[in-house]
Structure 1
Amino acid sequence: MRHSGPNRPLSLSHEARPQASGPRHVLLPFALALGLSLGVAVLVFAGMAAGKWTFAEISRDPSAQFGTPLYGGFVSTLGFAGWIIAAAATGLAALTQPLLRRLMLPVCLLSALLALDDQFMLHDAVLPRFGIPEKLMLIAEGLLCLRAVWPFLPALLRGKQPLLAVALAGFAASLLIDIIVRFDTGTALMIEDMAKFTGITFWATHWFVYAAAALRVVPASH
């Protein structure tokens, strides 16, 4: 077995080389992208026809359209990006590594759900309008979180998942503050939101590193 020296480029095994993508390889991604594009277009035009919004209100940058400061909501935006990073990384690992599918899919679904919940206030603004109690959504998210984290619990208890441990601690602290502190003070809100943001940051970092390890391409053996 020969190892690549410092000046010798790494060679990829035949299995690891990117394969040419033909019609069969792109059919499902094409259908998903087309469905997403058409779905958003239908939603946009339906909202405009119902007088819910103008196109500029939902397409332009909020600071340009509504005159909010450029820094307005940037912590929330970064948090949304963190959920999306975790969902994308674990979703890719689930699609390409069948052995990891049962582990990664719950994490991917949970991250995507929490991204949508944070961005569109599903549990406290949208779903109650359709008769779905806020607590029901929170219970569903809690159960999905338990399902996603449960397989990693032994490693967590042995201290082998420090990034995930900090993420869960941040979420727990944010939830605890939200339950205990009944009055809405600036300090309590800041501590709660920063604990949650810390949790999201470590959550995204953990799953990005985990997925990268699962997808890492190894040098070919000769």
Structure 2
Amino acid sequence: MNLRNQLKSNKTTFLRIFIISTFFIGCVLLLNKWKGIPIGSMTRDITTTAGVEIYVGFFSQVGFFFWIAAATLCMFTSFINHKSRGNIIFTEFLFLFGLLTLLLCLDDMFLLHESVFPYIFGIPQKGVFMVYGILIFFILLRYYQIILKTNYIILAMSFIFFAISISLDVIHPPNLNPYLMEDSVKMFGIVSWFFYFYSNATSIVSNLTTAINSK
């Protein structure tokens, strides 16, 4: 494909790149004007800005990678399933879990339950956890028949690990290193979450490939 044809066929992609990039640049400029936050504090690498060693926060950042990977798998697989005219309910299930995963990732990255919701919106940390729990409960209730057809034991593992991590965050048991225990259990939950949706993605792609090869 020559350059001229590529320019024509990728107009929508170019527009998406421009809109998304401009949106985040706009967020930086808005926060700078509204809250007086230095632009460099938002755009520079966090280890450079904070003047800390490169290993600071590496464990939590690894968790972000798994969150984002899981969200990407959900969204991409939902798209593939929709395009291949697969089960509509399964497509919705993957899409909503993709949005939920993004929300949990943003909460983990920006401490929404500790900083944003309590101090900006006045919602206490326990209240935030309760809202998350209710949201997850209704999604599970809506799609439980779909979940039972998947490797749900892996999803159940992730919820168990998350429940333990939240309990440790709220209770703060004595004689235990809070960072090691809480964050280690949460890591088990995030990785389990990723592999659950990885198994769904590979299953859909495998079934689609088999269907294409059989034609």
TM-score of the two chains, using structure 1 as the length reference: 0.75
1:146 and 2:137 are equivalent in the alignment: yes
Matched residue, 1:205: 195
Matched residue, 2:81: 97
Alpha-carbon contact 2:47-2:54 (below 8 Å) kept: yes
**Which one-letter code corresponds to 2:95 in the other structure?**
L
1:193 and 2:170 are equivalent in the alignment: no
**Which one-letter code corresponds to 1:39 in the other structure?**
F
Number of residue pairs aligned between Structure 1 and Structure 2: 200
Match of 1:54 among 32, 38, 41: 38
Alpha-carbon contact 1:106-1:147 (below 8 Å) kept: no
Match of 2:52 among 59, 68, 76: 68
Q: Secondary structure at the match of 1:143?
A: helix
* In 2: Cα distance, 1:160 partner to 1:220 partner: 25
Structure 1 residue 201 displacement after superposition? 0.8
Structure 1 residue 221 displacement after superposition? 3.0
RMSD of aligned residue pairs (Cα, Å):
3.0
Alpha-carbon contact 2:165-2:185 (below 8 Å) kept: yes
Judged with a 3 Å threshold, the aligned counterparts in structure 2 of structure 1 residues 191 and 36 are, in CA distance, closer, same or farther, namely: same
Structure 1 residue 206 displacement after superposition? 1.3
* In 2: Cα distance, 1:191 partner to 1:173 partner: 9
Judged with a 3 Å threshold, the aligned counterparts in structure 2 of structure 1 residues 69 and 213 are, in CA distance, closer, same or farther, namely: same
Matched residue, 1:178: 169
Alignment of 1:78-117 (within 5 A): 78-98=62-82, 99=87, 100-117=90-107
Alpha-carbon contact 2:32-2:39 (below 8 Å) kept: yes
* In 2: Cα distance, 1:153 partner to 1:168 partner: 18
- Which of 1 and 2 has greater Rg? 1
User: Which ranges in structure 2 are unaligned for 5 or more consecutive residues?
Assistant: none
Alignment of 1:116-155 (within 5 A): 116-134=106-124, 135-150=126-141, 151-152=143-144
Considering Cα pairs closer than 8 Å and 6+ residues apart, tell me whether 1 or 2 has the greater RCO: 1
Matched residue, 1:45: 29
Judged with a 3 Å threshold, the aligned counterparts in structure 2 of structure 1 residues 23 and 167 are, in CA distance, closer, same or farther, namely: farther
Q: Secondary structure at the match of 2:213?
A: coil
Structure 1 residue 161 displacement after superposition? 2.8
* In 1: Cα distance, 2:21 partner to 2:187 partner: 30
Identify, as 1 or 2, the structure richer in helix.
2
Structure 1 residue 32 displacement after superposition? 4.1
- Identity, % of aligned positions: 23
Matched residue, 2:155: 164
**Which one-letter code corresponds to 2:37 in the other structure?**
W
* In 2: Cα distance, 1:92 partner to 1:116 partner: 19
